């Protein structure tokens, strides 16, 4: 299941609470797993270097993903409004993390409010992130690293879903010599 750009815009723009909009944008823009979003701390977001450090993810590995300029602006506004203490998304107690169940609920409610009929879960945003990166020309090894996959075959499943531009088929020899039709 992959979302198109219009569906993503609807889902990101739908929630009335800034916290929920930022959460959904973050799930997509960084390809986060639900637990990674739940445990994300403010210290993990480097606004200067424009990176997000995902700590102790699956297989107990760390990884770094780019921070979207759009998301940076949203996070700064959100921080000023909410003043979270440790985690990017506080739970009911201000020093606790937002639970996985709460994130699932936020996504379910947002999907319901948009009226989108696809079976969307939090993981749909991760699939969409990977697919869009491939469609935009990023190589499979970099996508694997951004997703934190141990095995490249896990990442390769996105190649089957991605709508890659195959219209520019060519022989590499033509590019080597910049062949011109005479």
Listed by start position, the domains of the chain span 5-161
Q: What percent of the chain has pLDDT over 70?
A: 89
The residues, ordered by sequence, that sit 6+ positions from 17 with a Cβ below 8 Å of its Cβ are none
Catalytic hit among 19, 53, 58, 79 = 58
CA proximity to 105, closest of 88, 87, 92 = 92
Q: What is the pLDDT of residue 174?
A: 62
Q: What is the pLDDT of residue 37?
A: 97
Q: What is the separation, in whole angstroms, between the first and last Cα of the chain?
A: 46
Q: What is the pLDDT of residue 182?
A: 47
| Tokens 């929920």 belong to residue | 20
Q: What is the pLDDT of residue 177?
A: 59
Whether residue 126 lies in the annotated active site: yes
Q: Which of 76-80, 108-112, 162-166 has the lowest mean pLDDT?
A: 162-166
Whether residue 58 lies in the annotated active site: yes
Catalytic hit among 20, 21, 33, 127 = 33
CA distances from 37 to 55, 100, 137, 139, 168 (A): 11, 8, 26, 25, 38
Which class does domain 5-161 fall in?
A: mainly alpha
Q: What is the mean pLDDT of the segment spanning 4-18?
A: 95
CA proximity to 21, closest of 109, 121, 97 = 109
Between helix 140-147 and helix 122-135 the angle, nearest 10°, is: 160
Q: What is the mean pLDDT of the segment spanning 79-95?
A: 90
- What is residue 54's DSSP assignment? E
Catalytic hit among 21, 126, 127, 144 = 126
Whether residue 177 lies in the annotated active site: no
């Amino acid at each position: 299941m992959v979302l198109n750009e219009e569906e993503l815009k609807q889902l990101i723009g739908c929630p009335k609470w800034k916290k929920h909009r930022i959460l959904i944008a973050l799930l997509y823009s960084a390809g986060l797993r639900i637990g990674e979003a739940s445990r994300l701390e403010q210290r993990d977001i480097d606004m200067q270097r424009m990176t997000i450090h995902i700590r102790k993810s699956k297989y107990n590995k760390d990884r770094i993903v780019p921070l979207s300029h759009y998301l940076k602006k949203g996070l700064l506004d959100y921080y000023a409004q909410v003043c979270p203490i440790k985690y990017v998304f506080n739970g009911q107690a201000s020093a606790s993390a937002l639970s996985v169940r709460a994130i699932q609920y936020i996504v379910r409610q947002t999907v319901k409010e948009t009226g989108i009929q696809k079976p969307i879960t939090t993981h749909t945003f991760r699939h969409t992130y990977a697919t869009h990166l491939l469609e935009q020309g990023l190589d499979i090894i970099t996508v694997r690293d951004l997703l934190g996959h141990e095995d490249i075959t896990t990442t390769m499943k996105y190649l089957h879903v991605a709508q890659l531009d195959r219209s520019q088929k060519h022989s590499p020899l033509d590019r080597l010599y910049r062949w011109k039709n005479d």
